């Protein structure tokens, strides 16, 4: 049996994890081809979709079975697993998924199946091993149905095997939905030792598309540091790799890079980004490569700690609907806008770049601020402004014309050089008259 050690660092904050096997884009490359991409640190093979009567589905990447059995036998995938591990990547098998017949009726069932998994996929010596002598680096629990019974006992029994083996490091990971606590894994997460938790911030109200107000990473961080059996567990932002990878929650690479940078700067529990799935994230859009590159470069660069003197730094823009009108907003950082770390202040412009018609009446501009920022005061020259629920609310009774700009300055905690431009797509412009 070949035991491959990996260079994967579970303590890192820059890991990129990709699920592979289900070909959610309609087609997918082989496991070995994805492992040739340096962007990926962990590959989670999906799925062991039926247990304790073991059945695997790797969506056409393996079709052969052991004689007289429905159990897949995958020599080519086995060779790819070894290739991945030789390149410093961890390869983990995911149990469960959104569809499948799985679950335990008791703790004893969980313990017995842990012995089976150890012998079939990990460091044991079962007579039928789907990936032959390739030894996986751990097991992932993506439990989305069935009973909640037996999983804590399953993890504990697997851990007893891990501790008795000195050949390599093994990992237990979980993939809960973002609503806290997770309906299926909540109790197991509280009582069993997990190394990494890939929170699915999509297909739910608390997903990436709800950032910053509805995005609940902070709840998960509190769990990690106060309730988790492993107080050093690493949390990952789970994200769809493309628009078609999930019903809701997809954000483009630039947006998730900004979110990840913000979360990384505030929470030591952050471990990186997980994506569903490789076939979507590593298509022609290069979403996966872009997100991984940003993680490994440490996120967005810190800004200068002195007043900016006419230096243009960045622009974000979006079309915003105001009644029947379409208005293009542009947020500009720099160009005589003041940033000070020592004074904990940040300034930016909101520019009405174009409007299909003037707003010749009163208006309100609602600007959500990034999560974690606490604004004590705000000002905008010649405009009334207040802060409500971490949102800047600007009120004016005059009209808005094309190329009109408002200069803002905010002060409070976690601002200074850690502050980022608000997302213009989340700004709301209301007419009040």
* Size of the chain in residues: 433
Contact 339, 307 (CB under 8 A): yes
- Annotated catalytic sites, by residue? 144
Angle between the 151-164 and 107-121 helix axes, to the nearest 10 degrees?
Answer: 40
Q: Which of 114, 129, 94 is CA-nearest to residue 22?
A: 94
Listed in sequence order, the residues at least 6 apart from 275 whose beta carbon sits closer than 8 Å to its beta carbon are 16, 17, 18, 19, 238, 239, 240, 241, 245, 281, 287, 288, 291
3-state secondary structure of 121: helix
Listed in sequence order, the residues at least 6 apart from 270 whose beta carbon sits closer than 8 Å to its beta carbon are 13, 234, 235, 236, 237, 260, 263, 264
Contact 249, 209 (CB under 8 A): yes
Q: Which of 217, 254, 198, 257 is CA-nearest to residue 19?
A: 198
- Measured CA to CA, the distance from residue 127 to residue 33 in angstroms comes to 29
Listed in sequence order, the residues at least 6 apart from 388 whose beta carbon sits closer than 8 Å to its beta carbon are none
- Measured CA to CA, the distance from residue 205 to residue 211 in angstroms comes to 10
Contact 50, 97 (CB under 8 A): no
């Amino acid at each position: 049996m070949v035991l491959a050690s990996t260079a994967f660092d579970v303590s890192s904050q820059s890991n990129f994890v990709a699920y592979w096997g289900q070909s959610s884009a309609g087609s997918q490359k082989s496991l070995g081809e994805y492992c040739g991409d340096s962007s990926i640190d962990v590959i989670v093979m999906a799925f062991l979709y039926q247990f304790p009567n073991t059945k695997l589905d790797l969506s056409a990447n393996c079709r052969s079975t052991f004689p007289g059995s429905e159990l897949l036998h995958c020599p080519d995938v086995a060779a790819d697993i070894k290739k991945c591990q030789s390149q410093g990547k961890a390869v983990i098998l995911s149990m469960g998924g959104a569809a499948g017949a799985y679950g335990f009726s008791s703790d004893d069932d969980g313990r017995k199946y842990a012995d089976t998994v150890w012998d079939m996929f990990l460091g044991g010596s079962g007579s039928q091993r789907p990936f032959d002598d390739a030894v996986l680096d751990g097991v992932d629990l993506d439990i989305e149905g069935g009973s909640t019974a037996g999983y804590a006992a399953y993890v504990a029994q697997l851990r007893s095997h891990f501790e008795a083996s000195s050949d390599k490091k093994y990992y237990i990971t979980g993939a809960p939905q973002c609503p806290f606590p997770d309906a299926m894994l909540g109790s197991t997460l509280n009582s069993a030792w997990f190394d990494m938790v890939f929170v699915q911030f999509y297909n739910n109200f608390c997903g990436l598309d709800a950032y910053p107000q509805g995005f609940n990473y902070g709840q998960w961080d509190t769990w990690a540091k106060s309730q988790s059996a492993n107080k050093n567990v690493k949390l990952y932002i789970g994200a769809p790799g493309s628009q078609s990878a999930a019903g809701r929650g997809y954000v483009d690479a630039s947006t998730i890079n900004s979110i990840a940078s913000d979360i990384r700067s505030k929470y030591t529990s952050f471990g990186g980004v997980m994506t569903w799935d490789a076939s979507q994230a590593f298509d022609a859009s290069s979403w996966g490569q872009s997100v991984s590159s940003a993680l490994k470069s440490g996120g967005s660069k810190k800004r200068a700690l002195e007043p900016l003197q006419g230096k243009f730094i960045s622009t974000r823009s979006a079309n915003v609907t105001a009644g029947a009108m379409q208005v293009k907003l542009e947020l500009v950082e720099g160009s005589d806008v003041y940033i000070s770390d020592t004074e904990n202040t940040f300034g930016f412009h909101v520019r009405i770049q174009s409007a299909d018609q003037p707003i010749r009446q009163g208006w309100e501009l609602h600007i959500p601020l990034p999560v974690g920022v606490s604004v004590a005061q705000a000002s905008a020259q010649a405009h009334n402004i207040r802060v409500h629920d971490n949102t800047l609310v600007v009120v004016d009774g005059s009209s808005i014309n094309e190329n009109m700009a408002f200069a803002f300055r905010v002060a409070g905690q976690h601002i200074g050089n850690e502050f980022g431009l608000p997302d213009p797509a989340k700004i709301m412009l209301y007419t009040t008259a």
